Structure 1
Amino acid sequence: MIHTLPIAPTKWWIDPIQSDVLIKARHSVVAYISGSLNKFSGYIDVQDNQVQDASIEFILDIKNQAIALENVDGPMLSNDYLDTDGFPFVSFKSLSFQKINPHINFLKGALTINNTTKIVELEAELLDIKTCNGSQKALFEITGKINRKDFQLTTNSYKQAGGIVLGPDVKLIANLEFTV
């Protein structure tokens, strides 16, 4: 009888230059926050092209000087969207990773916006694994919806937000690239 040992997961580390976060609120307000000026760290464990474990942390500077489209990204800098006056950072630090099946995973962690921290559960999905220029890369997406009121962000009126009425939720979409 031949005994085979299970293959240990391979640890893939986040590439901060190739990672980014999209913050989106209902009614056409979208802010793309590039990874080049923000801090991303973490890893995923991959075995047989499936995520076995993950630990992810990021800190976003929402007053990032790379924001170039004032008419698109300007509303993000108002207190109605994300409070940037006293607390210009959004941060997330994972606490646990739960694998349901190859396509459904949940990442629980501490999300801080407006100096308020809440435990949130975000969906996590391994999108693709490919080889590029001799290096293996894994593309991972984390998505979740949060209520602005949970983070003491003000609700706005049409006049307060420069004619843009925002819905009660903000959607976070983190596109993360990992390399082995």
Structure 2
Amino acid sequence: MSRQALMVMDIQNAVVARYPDPGYLPRLREAIARARAGGIPVIHVVVGFRPGYPEISANNKMFGGLARRAAAAGEEAGMAIHPEVTPEPGDIVVTKRRVSAFAGSDLDVVLRAGGIDHLVLTGIATSGVVLSTLREAADRDLTLTVLADACLDSDPEVHRVLTEKVFPMQADVTTVAEWTPA
């Protein structure tokens, strides 16, 4: 029997601030509430680095910018999980070091220990953490669902192409309202 987990990825203050959408966090909260009500584990995935950012190469455009923004916002405040989706007791928080939720994290250990083989993906950005995690999870033979309206991207057309044309090749794509936690 398949065991699902809801992945809530990169919903950190510094990230959310870059993607203003007043309807996004309420939809995400609904997905989290539905998962909890269905007894499905909620895994919050955050990007994080050691003080001074020794994991960030000078060659890394994406994370170099994130480190600067987080430092400007106050390192701890910028990297914290957004207060509208604060983890509750029993939720799992995984820290990653790159775009994919698997990169530099212990996510694989958490999934195997919990017997989880079906990931329900949400997060910011569709073209970042969601895409990278989906591809790596598919290569690990995990079953995947993407909650399209619980993903967000700065480019609506990129989001549309990914959720309508790319993701369906490796995942079931649905909405928060249509998702049945199992």
Query: More strand by proportion, 1 or 2?
Result: 1
TM-score range, shorter chain: under 0.3
Given the two structures, how large is their TM-score scaled by the length of structure 1? 0.26
- Pick 1 or 2: higher relative contact order, CA cutoff 8 A, min separation 6: 2
Higher Rg? 1
Given the two structures, how large is their TM-score scaled by the length of structure 2? 0.26
